[in-house]
Structure formats: C-alpha cells, structure tokens
Amino acid sequence: MAAATARPMELCFASLAATPTPAGRAPARPKKRRAGTTVRCAATAPAPMGEKTEYRDGPLERAFMGLFARKMEKYAAGGGGRKKPQPAEEEKEKAVWEWDYESFVDVSRRVMVGRTRAQQQEAVREVLLSMLPPGAPEQFRKLFPPTRWACEFNAALTVPFFHWLVGPSEVIEVEVNGVKQKSGVLIKKCRYLENSGCVGMCVNMCKIPTQDFFTNEFGLPLTMNPNFEDMSCEMIYGQVPPPLEEDPASKQPCYPNLCSMSTPSAPVCPKLQ
C-alpha cells in the first residue's frame, strides 16, 4: 500500500476497458497495440518534495513547449556572451513537437545568463507579446474587464490550458477585497520550479512577468504566491500584486541541493538582487 501511494497517480487518455462477455461465448482476446504507439498519460498528482513528477507529454503539449522555446531562443542566444553560430555550424531547427520540457527549461535558464532581473522579466514580456496577434491586449481588456466573472472565468481556463507548463492545478475559493470568489488557482507542485530547481527562474521568468502581463497588459490583476516549501503556487485573479520589495518571494534563498546555479552561502538568491 505504501509503495502504491508513493507513485504519482496518472490519468490515461487511452486505456483498455473491460467489457462483459456474453454467456456461451469465449472472452475476446485483447487487441495487440501497434509497435511504436503509446498511451498518452498526464500526471495528476505531484511527486514528493525532492523528487520529480513523471509526465508523459503528447504532441500537443510538446508543440506548446516548442512554440515558447523557439520564441525564447533568440534571447537565449544573446545572453551571457554566447557566440551566435555561423551558418555552417547551425543545426537543423527542431519542429515544435520535437521539444521536451527539459530543453524548454534549458532555454529559460540560458535567457537568465548575462541579464539583470529587469532584463529577464522584459525578455519574458516580449515573448508573451509575440505569441499574441496584434491588438490582443486591447481586445482582452474589452472582453474581460476586471469583474468577478472575468476573474473566475480566467481561473477556470488556467487549469486545462496551462497544465503542460505548471502541472496539475485546481480552482479554489479565495478572498479578494473582502469578497469570496472562485478566482484562485492552486498549482499542486509547479512543474517549472520542480524541473529548474531555481528560485530566481521562478520569480524572474514566471511569477513577476506573468503578474505584470495580466495586470498591466490585460488589465486583469493577478497575484502569484509560490510556496517554496513544497513548490506549490497560488494564483489569485483580481488581486493586485505587491511591489517586489514587499513580496516574501524576493527574500527567498536558493535551493542548494537542486539548483546548479545556487549560492548556498547567500541569505537571498543572487538572481533576485
């Protein structure tokens, strides 16, 4: 029983279902699966702290990873003095579905190199804007003014559409300006933080740019509260985020055993300064 509970639960989108056998007829033999085919599964329960949750991404999830990673590549190539390859050295560009999550996180890590905190956040903002059609922020403001309905609707959309990026999540009730509403999203264990193991990447490449993008570009306030003890995160649509200097996330030290860029002796992650 203990071994069973330790393994992450998985939701399979394709599985064999048992069917009743009519009386007097031999049970049907299960069909053999064609060689090379796989059953698409997505993790629905996180692994314990210190372990990585196992995900089985399908072509659609990989396409999202590839789209984001391709946009970020131009910023990664310019960071940290990395020399741009000559045409003879250039490798064939990956198709969007050929990316995996580890390579997506690696691109994010290279964007950090050689850039200040503000420059990292600006790079993510530019990537997010480049993913949208012209005039999208203005249209979003018209469709989703900062009302309770808009906050709850966007929270509901976050759960299925960002599963590939942050992992399993659920809508929760939160209190915004003294009013209880279902405009919160609880990310059970953030896939991005889990795979990077980096506090600076969480804050500079996800939390702050996402908050600013929704609050300033879309006009829909959003606050993200990562829990660095268990890598969960609470998103609250409708709540204006505090200044970074007043945010507890800005005082977080490194994960010394998880981050390859960590400075264990520093009281605060150097990437946050």
Whether pTM exceeds 0.75:
yes
Residue with token string 């469709």: 143
Mean pLDDT over 14-22 rounds to 39
Confidence of residue 185 (pLDDT cuts 50, 70, 90): very high
Would you state the pLDDT for residue 77?
Answer: 57
What residues are paired with 232 via a beta bridge?
227
Question: Residues of 162-190 as b/e, b for ≥16 C-beta within 10 angstroms?
Answer: bbbbbbbbebeebebeeeebebbbbbbbb
User: pLDDT averaged over the chain?
Assistant: 81
Mean local confidence (pLDDT), 171-192: 97
Q: Tens digits of per-residue pLDDT, 208-244? A: 999 999 999 999 999 999 999 999 999 999 999 999 8
Average pLDDT of the residues in 49-74: 88
More confident residue, 80 or 98: 98
pLDDT tier, 51 (very low <50, low <70, confident <90, very high otherwise): confident
Output b/e per residue, 253-266; b: 16+ Cβ within 10 A: bbbeebbebbeeee
For residue 37, pLDDT over 60 is answered with no
Residue 264's identity, in one-letter code, is: P
